Amino acid sequence: MAATRIAILYGSETGTAQDFANILSHQLRRFHYKHTVCSIGEYSAQNILACQYLFVICSTTGQGALPQNARQSPQGKVEGTLWSVLKRSSLPPTLLDHLQVAFLGLGDSSYSKFNFAIRKLHNRIVGQLGAREIFPRLEADAIGLAGSNAGNGNGIELVYSEFEKRVLSFLNDQFPFMTVNGEQVPREPIATDIYLKPEYYLEASGNDKGTASVPCTFEGDSSVKYGTVVTNKRITATDHFQDVRQLVFSSQDGENYYPGDTVSIYPYNTDADVQAFIDTQQHWASIADVPLQIKTPTSARGICDGGLVSPLTLRNLLKYHCDIVSIPMRSFFMKTWTFAVDHERLPDGKDQLQQQRDKLREFAESEDMQDIYDYCNRPRRSILEVVQDFMSLRLPWEYILDYLPHIKPRFFSISSQPCNKDIELTIAIVRYKTILRRIRRGLCTNYISDLSEGSIIRYKVQYNDLLPAGKQDRPVIMISPGVGLAPMKCLIYAQLFNPMLLFFGNRYKDKDFLYADTLQKWADENRIKLFVCFSRSPDDSPGLKYVQDAVWENAREVARLITEENAVVYVCGSSGKMPVQVRLTLCEVLKKWGNFPDDKASEEYLKDMENSDRYLQETW
């Protein structure tokens, strides 16, 4: 990757930071700025010495860590990556004094280590290596309670919008002119109704051999492994609304995984959804199964996470790489509204065409995000449904890898015994009705629910180094409602802590008491102390509705283990209210039974626990 003086780098776990980076790149291209855009892990450490203007967008994962694509190269290597080099203690404090930089962090303040990743990057690049900050760091909060959007009810999109404005304002002030044919002319943006073609695109390969019966393989990512499904069993009652699966698959060579490690699964779209998308683009029908090739100035490696499908056809790309059932982000509308040109399929012809163009352009360019939120996010409307609604869209198949988001692997905590050849996951199937009264299914969990014994899945094991070094052989307090039980089950198998207290909660004892027999057996054998509560069957846990209630009922023992025996606290489950309420409860527990005089003192103690890896939280 050639060095440029402007670079946009992202660290992204779910794809949001990457999408914002691509939107910013799109805007810089409109203003004729040559630049680089890539993950932090892909960017050469050598190139930062030639870079003059750096824009970093990064989320936080795990216990305040940088996302994997910020820590590792696309080939999975850590050594020699930008972040590994920047962390070297031998670097001089003036190494980056040539660099001007701006930061945008994406986080969720229900996590204790809110936006830690961007703060680490900021502290090292600016605070210790001498780069100059263009404007103060922006931090977005997904729940709108902290950071740059604290208390205003706005989501992370508006924080990004502010970041983009400041970046463009800075660059355009620095470079109001550009060189065209050897002359200096005012810098004017390319009109938004002109599609900016990407560096890589699809074209017919000229190989007319049939592809329909050829089995698919994937090329370009040797770190992806193949597993064979052994069990895919529902472990909640059939009359319960929540379908939770125990998915067990065998690995080819065995895996050395440990408590807290995760598996990333590579799902794909259903054939029905793929065909439905092709049906919205009638001009694709004749090319759907024709062999294609990617034209790129460099290499097609790394364009698609997990390797590129072969045979490379439009149908296979839509099935294995394009996330057509995801909710569209603004970048989708920015890149596609100009293709609303087909009035022949509209009942009201050209009049309706103009209405559709105006609405799509509004989604793409309006600073007021309410309309796009009401149309896309509130009803969870998918890209497939958008193109079905806007039949005027005549999308060029050559550029689908640019304007359609790519399928990302989904991460699940391992719940089986460490280093077992068979890997067990505990997965809640996503299925719900929207305000449109339509059934919504998660891409990955829908894929998982259809797996049967003998099915082959593609996966990677992510090693998260969750367990704090030197803090084993001491008590652990595990707080895990719902499928948050998964990593706790793996931890109990490992028997690294003693004693082990497990606070588990769900809705009904007779419907979703996950792994009830196993947990009760462990409790009878004194491997764990088990405390359970069920929010919708109060007779089965009198006075205890949620896990924090069970913690409070056992406050004296919890406080003693934390303050006298240096217990580790591990909270895992859904984000939102649960981790906040658990933390507040622990503060009260410490204040009443841990001899702390007030809220401030107990809160400071919890913060010290977080900083020393004694308070661990994994929520989603």
Annotated binding-site positions for FAD: 380, 410-413, 442-445, 620
Query: 391: which residues sit within 8 A by CB, 6+ positions away?
Result: 280, 342, 345, 346
Q: What is the DSSP letter of 232?
A: E
Q: What are phi and psi of 141, to 5 degrees?
A: -115, 125
Q: Which amino acid is at 241?
A: F
Question: Residues annotated as binding site for NADP(+)?
Answer: 535-536
Pairing of strands 225-234, 244-251: antiparallel
Pairing of strands 308-310, 217-219: antiparallel
- Specify the 3-state DSSP secondary structure of 257: coil
Q: Please, what's the b/e burial string for 76-107 (b: 16 or more CB within 10 A of its CB; e: otherwise)?
A: eeeeebbbbebeeeeeeeebbeebbbbbbbbb
| Backbone CA torsion sign across 357, 358, 359, 363 | positive
Residue with tokens 């502290």: 123
CA distances from 549 to 259, 329, 588 (A): 26, 39, 12
Let me know: does 273 contact 322? Beta carbons within 8 Å. Answer: no
Question: Residues annotated as binding site?
Answer: 12-17, 59-62, 106-115, 380, 410-413, 442-445, 535-536, 620
Q: Please give the Cα distance from 390 to 382 (Å, whole number).
A: 12
Taking CB atoms within 8 Å and a gap of at least 24, the contacts of 277-283 are 277/318, 277/324, 277/384, 277/387, 278/314, 278/315, 278/318, 280/384, 280/387, 280/388, 280/391, 280/393, 281/387, 281/393, 281/394, 281/395, 281/397, 283/394, 283/397
What beta strand segments (E) does 36-107 contain? 36-39, 53-59, 100-107
Let me know: does 152 contact 144? Beta carbons within 8 Å. Answer: yes
Query: 574: which residues sit within 8 A by CB, 6+ positions away?
Result: 481, 482, 484, 619, 620
Nearest to 156 by CA among 141, 166, 137, 146: 141
Q: Please give the Cα distance from 617 to 107 (Å, whole number).
A: 14
Let me know: does 300 contact 203? Beta carbons within 8 Å. Answer: no
Q: Please give the Cα distance from 322 to 465 (Å, whole number).
A: 31
- Specify the 3-state DSSP secondary structure of 613: coil
Let me know: does 69 contact 11? Beta carbons within 8 Å. Answer: yes
Nearest to 119 by CA among 153, 160, 147: 147
Question: Residues annotated as binding site for FMN?
Answer: 12-17, 59-62, 106-115
Q: Please give the Cα distance from 275 to 314 (Å, whole number).
A: 11
Let me know: does 433 contact 380? Beta carbons within 8 Å. Answer: no
- Specify the 3-state DSSP secondary structure of 265: strand
Q: Which amino acid is at 573?
A: G
